[in-house]
Amino acid sequence: MMLERRDLLTFAGGAVIGGVTVSFLDKGSGSIRWYNGTDETLWTEIEIQSKGGVLFSPETIYEDSSELPQTPEYMFSVPNIVPAGDYIVKIEVRRNWNESIAASETITWNGSGQEHALLTIEIDSDLNIETIQ
């Protein structure tokens, strides 16, 4: 008996749907957590895209532009914004909304197979962006 590609994906417990890697075992979601280590309010933009693939182009799953107050004692969280999966995340930071981008970062967020995937985005006093998965 010859297995087809679809059978192999099903057997492995996963599939690629719309360019997002999804496991049938995944029941979770992905959340982001922001930390602003500067002494000023920042403006942030985030875009989360599917990774795309042979049959699919990357697609924007979530995007947001918001003001991020300084958070020296705590982190600002945005829960359950995407299904657990693997994504490309683009982050931009501005000191003022109408100014040019002061810092940016593009990363791959690997959240497949996790019940709850958390991406922490830390911005330090020099506007360096660090991500923790």
Where exactly are the structural domains of the chain?
Answer: 5-132
* Cα–Cα dist 62/29, whole Å: 13
Counting Cβ atoms within 10 Å, is residue 55 exposed (0-12), middle (13-18) or buried (19+)? exposed
What pLDDT was estimated at residue 88? Answer: 95
At 104, the amino acid letter reads S
Residue spans of the chain under pLDDT 50: 1-26
pLDDT by residue (tens digit) across 88-121? 999 999 999 889 999 999 999 988 777 888 999 9
CA-based Rg of the chain, rounded to a whole angstrom? 17
* Cα–Cα dist 64/44, whole Å: 8
CB atoms near residue 78 (< 10 Å): 15
Work out whether strand 76-83 and strand 20-23 pair parallel, antiparallel, or are unpaired.
Answer: unpaired
Query: In the CATH scheme, what architecture does the domain 5-132 have?
Result: Sandwich (2.60)
Torsion of CA 63, 65, 67, 68, to 10 degrees: 30
